[in-house]
Structure 1
Amino acid sequence: MKKRVLLVSDFHANVYGWRKEIIESMLSAGAEVALAVPYGEQLEYFREIGCKLFDVKLNRKSTGLANNFSLLNQYKVVLKQYKPDLALLYGSKGMLYTGYHCKRMGIPYFSNINGLGTVETMGFPIKQVILTLYKMVVPGATCVFFQNRYNMEKLEKIKLINKNYRLIPGSGVNTVKFKALPFPTNSETRFLFCARIMKEKGIVEFIEAARKLCSEGINAKFDVVGMYDDEFSEKLINDNKDILAFHGFQKDVIPFIENTNCVVLPSFYGEGISNSLLESAASARPIITTNMPGCRETVIDEKTGFIIEPQNSDSLYKAMKRLCKMSLVDQEKMGLAGREYISEKFSRDIVVKAYMEEYKKVFN
C-alpha cells in the first residue's frame, strides 16, 4: 500500500517554485502526495502528475481569532480526510497549526524553519503566543529542517530542539532552470528589487538609495518585481513611480533577472535563505544584501556582491554606487563568481537528498 504524504504551505507559487523537486522525488519513491495549499493555477501541474489538492482558505497576515481558529480547523479536517503517514510542513501558520494536530494524532511530520519572519519584530503578546506554539510543535517533529544556522542555534539555545534536526541550504536553487544568463550591455546600470513589497524587505531603503543615485545624475534604472504586502507598500510604490519601473508579481522572474546588472535585497526580515538571492546569483548576477541571517550567507562580500548594514539606506547607496562605477566586465566576473559559489553550496539537489534521507528513515 502506498504511503501518503501531505505537504502544507501558505502560497501556491512557493510550492511550484521551491518544493516541486521534493514532491516529484517522493512520487518516484512510490508515495501518494496531497497538497493543502490555498488554490492557485500553478497547482494544476501537481494535479496532472497525480497529486490530490485541498484548497485551504488562509489569510497569512491575519491575527484575528476567528480567522485563525477557522484555519486550525481546516487543517484538522484535511488530516482526518486524507489520513497521511507523513506531513511536510512549510510556512509559520501551516507548520504550527498542522503540526499541533499531527502531534495529537500521532502523525509523523517534518517542520521547516524557513526563517522566523515577522516574529522577530512582533510585540507582546502576539510574539509570546507564537513562541508558545513553537514550543508545543517543534519538539514533536520527526525532523526539523533549518534553513540557516542562526535560527538553528537560536532554537538550540532555548532547548526547543532535542532530537533529529539538520541544516539545509534554504530551499536550494534549481541551477538547471536558473542558469548563467548573458550579461546585459545596456548603457545604464539596472538594479532589480525582487521580493514581496514590504518594509521589512527593505523597499524603503531601496527607494531612498535610488533617489540619491538619481539626484547625482548617475545613469541607473530601478525595477521592482513582487506583490504588494499591504496598503502602505502599494502607496509607497505609487508615490515613487517617477523613478521605479513596477512590474507586480511575476510567475517567471528570469526575464527580469536577465535584464538587470544587479539584484538588491536590503532585507531586515527574518529570512530562512532568500530564494530571490539564490535564483539571482545562480543566474550570474551580482547581489547586494544585508548582514542579516538568510541574506549574508548568499554572498561572498566584495567577490560575488556586497553586504551592507540593515535599515541603512546610505550603506545601500554606497554599495549601489560602487557597482555603477564597475566596468561591465568586472560586474560580469562578480556575477559568474556568485554562480559558482551558489551552485556548489546551495543546489536544490542537496535539499531533495536531505528530505529523501529523512523520508526513508520514517518508512524504513
Structure 2
Amino acid sequence: MKILLFANTDWYLYNFRLPLAKYMREKGLEVILVSPPGSYGAKLEENGFRWISVPMERRSLNPWKEFKLLRHLIKLYAKEKPDLVHHFTIKNVVYGSLAARMAGIKPRVNAVTGLGHIFTSNGWLARLIRPIVSSLLRIAFQGDKSLLILQNPDDYQAFVNAGLVLPKDIRLIRGSGVDTERFQPSFQKRQGVFRVLLATRLLWEKGVGEYVEAAINLKSHNQAIEFLLAG
C-alpha cells in the first residue's frame, strides 16, 4: 500500500510528520513525501524516504503559478497512483484534493490545524479570496472516502456552519500530539514567581489575543503570575 503525504514545506514534514512516516513504514507501507523545494528535503532522504519537490509557493496568488501547481500535482498523482493521500494545511488540502479527484484517487485525508489567515483576517484581500477558497474546499471535501481532521471545536463549527463539509466526514482530535520519549519534563519545586510562557507566531489570531485576555483576567485577581511571550 502506498501513502503520499503532501505538506507546504519540507521543514514541516521533517519536524512534525517524520515520526508518522516512520511508523507507517514500519507497518510495511510505502511512504512518499511531497513538498516545495527546501533544505530539509535531503534530511528526509537521509531517513530513507522518497521526497518529491513540487513548484509550490505558499503565499502565491498568481493564477498562472497556481494552475501550473495543480497541473503538476495531477500528473504526479496519476503517475504514482497512491492508495491514499494525506494533505496538511488549507492550500495543500485544496490543491491536493482537486488533483487527487482528477487523478481518480478517492481515499483522501485532509488535516487542517487552523482556519488560516484567509478565514481569520478582515483585510480586503482575505475577504475577496474567502468565497473562492470556500467553494474550492467544498469540492475538496466531497466524496465518500474523504476525511477531514480538525483540532478544535470552533473550527468544527465553522466548517459545518459554512456548509463546507458534512459532520460525518470530520474527525475531531485534541492536537497533533507530542513525542513523550523526546520531550520529558522534569518536575521541580519552583521558587518565587510562577511563570507562564506562550511560544508562538506573533499573530493575534494564533492565540495571542486569548493569552493576553487570560493574563489580564488573572492579574485582576491579584494572582502572582508572570506572563511571557516568545515568537
User: TM above 0.5, one fold?
Assistant: yes
1:240 corresponds in structure 2 to none
SS at match of 1:87: strand
Q: CA RMSD in A?
A: 3.1
Q: Is 1:175 the equivalent of 2:174?
A: no
Alignment of 1:79-228 (within 5 A): 79-107=77-105, 108-120=107-119, 121=121, 123-140=126-143, 142-162=146-166, 163-181=168-186, 194-197=199-202, 201-202=203-204
* Structure 2 CA distance for aligned equivalents of residues 10 and 186 of structure 1: 43
Asked if 1 retains the 8 angstrom alpha-carbon contact of 2:193 and 2:225, the reply is no
Q: Is 1:309 the equivalent of 2:208?
A: no
* Structure 1 CA distance for aligned equivalents of residues 191 and 60 of structure 2: 43
- Pick aligned residue for 2:54 from 53, 56, 77: 56
Q: TM-score, normalised by structure 2?
A: 0.79
Q: Which moved more, 1:138-147 or 1:25-34?
A: 138-147
Q: Deviations over 1:116-166 (max 9, x none)?
A: 110221543211111111111013352211111111122222333233321
CA 1:150 to 1:189, structure 2 compared with 1: closer, same or farther past 3 Å?
Answer: closer
* Structure 1 CA distance for aligned equivalents of residues 192 and 55 of structure 2: 47
2:225 corresponds in structure 1 to 323
- Pick aligned residue for 1:36 from 18, 22, 34: 34
SS at match of 2:226: helix
Q: Deviations over 1:259-300 (max 9, x none)?
A: xxxxxxxxx24x7xxxxxxxxxxxxxxxxx543xxxxxxxxx
Following TM superposition, the consecutive aligned residue runs of length 4 or more in structure 1 with deviations greater than 4 angstroms are 181-193, 316-319
1:211 corresponds in structure 2 to none
Asked if 1 retains the 8 angstrom alpha-carbon contact of 2:36 and 2:57, the reply is no
Q: Which amino acid aligns with 1:155?
A: F
* Structure 1 CA distance for aligned equivalents of residues 38 and 11 of structure 2: 8
Percent identity among equivalent residues?
24
* Structure 1 CA distance for aligned equivalents of residues 191 and 11 of structure 2: 31
CA 1:178 to 1:290, structure 2 compared with 1: closer, same or farther past 3 Å?
Answer: farther
- Pick aligned residue for 2:16 from 3, 13, 18: 18
* Structure 1 CA distance for aligned equivalents of residues 25 and 15 of structure 2: 17
Asked if 2 retains the 8 angstrom alpha-carbon contact of 1:54 and 1:78, the reply is no
Asked if 2 retains the 8 angstrom alpha-carbon contact of 1:36 and 1:78, the reply is no
SS at match of 2:22: helix
Asked if 1 retains the 8 angstrom alpha-carbon contact of 2:78 and 2:103, the reply is no
CA 1:322 to 1:144, structure 2 compared with 1: closer, same or farther past 3 Å?
Answer: same
Alignment of 1:279-294 (within 5 A): 290-291=209-210
Q: Deviations over 1:84-109 (max 9, x none)?
A: 11100002211100101112222121
CA deviation after TM superposition for structure 1 residue 57, in Å: 2.8
Q: Which moved more, 1:185-194 or 1:6-15?
A: 185-194
Gap regions ≥5 residues in structure 2: none
* Structure 2 CA distance for aligned equivalents of residues 10 and 53 of structure 1: 13
* Structure 1 CA distance for aligned equivalents of residues 100 and 116 of structure 2: 23
Q: Which amino acid aligns with 1:101?
A: A
CA 1:7 to 1:323, structure 2 compared with 1: closer, same or farther past 3 Å?
Answer: same
Q: Which amino acid aligns with 1:10?
A: N
Asked if 2 retains the 8 angstrom alpha-carbon contact of 1:4 and 1:84, the reply is yes
* Structure 2 CA distance for aligned equivalents of residues 324 and 116 of structure 1: 30
Greater RCO (Cα-Cα under 8 Å, separation 6 or more): 1
Q: Which amino acid aligns with 2:132?
A: V
